[in-house]
Chains A and B, each alone.
Chain A
């Protein structure tokens, strides 16, 4: 890739010639404020917030940075008096028609209008007239079940229109009208039909488009953010779990240019509702509630006493690699040789780890396997059809995270933790190993698969060679990933492609606003 040298605020910069000025100066840690530009959408150039002084050989000219590709010898001023004045002017224009309703606006705290006003505005108001407010209305309208539109907050940056057209491939939003009374419109009687609607709330730089799920539920500054991957699909979409006090408030996309860019489907973001509902929290044997330790030793005894060749381990496709590996290892130590996978009822496609289980020798579960089994340990939340096939199994032991859909005659049920309650690794459809971090503790003392395996091993007085999830990863990396000694941390934010090299695109995660490029 050819490079060029430019001068930015008296600093020299050599950068890729394909970058625009916003991207280029970001390499120096300089942020050029912008509203309409988005790294994953086409340039529109309408907001004028990114005006900087550019001298490309003919003297300094006010130029929008988003549409200006770097050229050799270019001189850019991003903070001279003229530039600061232009920003202030644009902000003053935008605020003419923007309500000061931050106290009731869900975007507050991550609103670009708010942020840039703090950074570049802070002027005295000169507004004495009622400008343009007439006819804009203050009533929120629903664009679909998921998306609420507050027209009066809209700054007409056109991002949502471009998103629908360019990403969803649907022309459902448009800016209607002309001049000051313009507003984002849908055709009467229609509603949004896209699969990525919640992304509209991410890219809206202000609080004009909000999610009906998140609206009025939490101020964003109270949210803790945990890096994870999609717990529903096999795409391995990178997400942030945003939570507080053991509760998930929303799932946000996290940039991975090799996988999802900054877009994540609504189904993946709404799945967290299922994860938190109807939790199973204490071990039971028949009608007796028991401590986890006791329950694990009951399970270990059963494993010890069962005929080794008739042991069967079944996991669903949402378990982590570490859990699958640890359980498999402890079963092998007891002589077990049969390992199967089945679909989780909280998964679609191959689920977040179906591909990883393939890699570890977990075959699709069949009736024959069940018929031949003398003891079955089933770990996960299985589909109803699958649960029916468990009916004839003699010795069924289950670890599950949810109450509903439990097989009728289990010997023992252990409380399993959920996606956001444990750290671990997943393999997506590209055969990329990725990390998902634990966001918070399970509601009571739910166990991870690794904890169950380690507990069984202790009871069997055998050693697995690891006791934690991280150690389990290093062990499985040597055993199955051809990466002996690799530590979990080393997976990093890009993950590990098992059969290929990362592309240029995914290595570059240059973007615009921090929220959209967050990679921690």
Chain B
């Protein structure tokens, strides 16, 4: 018999979900860097995710109160970006990249392996709460794939600094076993995480030019540190530039022939020139470091290995254009690059290089690093501006163009990282030197300078190479990238990222790597992301992969893109599942036609071009699938489509 004791259960104190005084203070400090409080929404969502792990409705309400914005907006913005956890995830959230380069490198097998070893399917969490398995679209590690981003729930297990995870590249069964074994005992630091320049490429090999610019500091120990950068001539060009008249600098960049390295290839000097000379509103420089185009991974290394070069380029650009505020928008998946650029900005601020009185001159310029949260569309410049302002990355109607009405309503220059890291070199060597810098006399005069090319897919030496524009493609492929893997024959090439039209082996034989030559061949230089497909490549599956990418990344604003991308992806899945019908190919081309050039931004066009080029150039491969099918069309199980989580 037991006597009843007065058992008082400890009162369950329901945690009040609200930003703490410390968090609010951090937010207020950040607020000083933005002209509106609304711009704090993305940073505040990040803070909330660090603090509470999952962005539940109660957490979103707390975020909305703290910023402040309406709660429905906080929810809608959180919904839009893939990196915000709306549902609980495990301590380690493994997101395997499934985009085209990873696909060609066998990402599908990696996912199957992980499902087997974890005993869960994509989208699920292990019963012990340790791992969640997901898939992600291009994570900008195409030269070192297959790979995965592993995000860590820092409410359970802290990481040094502000990092929230890391890339695990060169995944194979052994690497996965090692990763899972060590993570199971929380030995995060012990997991070997080889990088491109540790494994398949040397720093020296990145410099495939006698006048390297972007890569000249690669390989110097601690090249990301201010002291090292300065010891190698860093910030001297900023000093020189501050002695020059701003207009002369704009003119210099115009004369240099530098063209934007983000994809469109527009003249950088002309773009700067569009900024009105006088404006009532503050003017901004916004750096597009939302590198997400499948096949592209150059900006990542510029941020990791030489962040001060970017800052120097930014400050020169700001001086030239009478700008006092610069935002560097870095994609949220970049952990190390984000850390490096944040640290570099802090170093530069402490050293009086940016902030009030840049290098002691009568010129103030503030540089702020802003983190994205997982959305390809934010690489579109006006989608990026919306995101910077604390909204969903919906591209804006143009006109007005950003040069007139850009960030926070002010005239704005938006440049790619690589474009800006070219600027100090131009100041150092002069416009003429840059204008004359090309591979040989056959290079288009409108394509001067060196360019970072990223080559991935079926090549022996995938990687990042700085070459003078105009280098013959076959020379680049065979001499620099080591040729097609395993001695296979070349089948097709995507020359400028997944958005570019596919070129056949025949079409690239005499093509050079410059803007005009690639355009003449029927595609575009884009971001310089070359994806190589060998003779064994299944073009139908490659197209399905690329189309799923766009279906996942369409912002959903414009009808043709929102509806057309997933429709096309569904049809392609059905064809692959052996249920294609004869009219499917013409229907796919019609869908492409309905998207091409019909939307606010170029994403729909970028989705249409692969449909058009793959089907037109390799129609027989599609027909083979359909003829082999022999059945009637029926609906495809949505689970088989493999939507990205």
Contacts and interface: CB of A to CB of B under 8 A. Distances in A.
Contacts of B560: 48, 89-90, 93
Contacts of A94: 559, 563
Contacts of A181: 556
Contact of A179 (B556, B597, B599, B634): B556
Interface in B537-571: 551-560, 562-567, 570-571
A177 B79 contact: yes
A180 B75 CA distance: 18
B556 A182 contact: yes
Interface string A156-190: 10000000000000111111111111100111111
A156 B563 CA distance: 11
B182 interface: no
A62 interface: yes
B556 A178 contact: yes
Contacts of A180: 551, 554, 556, 562-563, 565-566
Interface of A: 43-49, 51, 62, 67, 86, 89-90, 92-94, 96-97, 126, 128-132, 134, 155-156, 170-182, 185-190
Interface in B369-404: 375, 392, 397
B598 interface: yes
Contact of A131 (B75, B554, B559, B566): B566
A126 B635 contact: no
B625 interface: no
A182 B566 CA distance: 13
B552 A46 contact: no
Given A179-B551, A182-B556, A132 B72 contact: no
Interface of B, secondary structure class, is: helix
B593 interface: yes
B378 to A, nearest CB: 11
Contacts of A175: 76, 392, 556
B73 interface: yes
Contacts of B79: 176-178, 185
Contacts of B594: 86, 89-90, 92-93
B80 A178 contact: yes
Contact of A47 (B60, B553, B559, B570): B559
Contacts of A187: 57, 60-61, 70-72, 75
B563 A93 contact: yes
Given A45-B600, A89-B560, A185 B72 contact: yes
Contacts of B634: 128
A174 B75 contact: yes
A90 B595 CA distance: 9
B638 interface: yes
Contact of A190 (B72, B564, B566): B72
B73 A48 contact: no
Contacts of B551: 179-180
Interface centre among B60, B566, B581 (most CB of A within 10 A): B566
A132 B635 CA distance: 12
B422 to A, nearest CB: 30
A48 B80 contact: no
B610 to A, nearest CB: 17
A131 to B, nearest CB: 5
B122 to A, nearest CB: 17
B633 interface: yes
B574 interface: yes
A21 B44 CA distance: 41
B558 to A, nearest CB: 5
Contacts of B351: none
A208 B563 CA distance: 18
Interface in B332-388: 375
B556 A156 contact: yes
Given A48-B598, A92-B594, A156-B562, A67 B397 contact: yes
A178 B397 contact: no
B587 interface: yes
Nearest to A135: B638
B328 to A, nearest CB: 24
A177 B599 contact: no
A176 B75 contact: yes
A129 B571 CA distance: 7
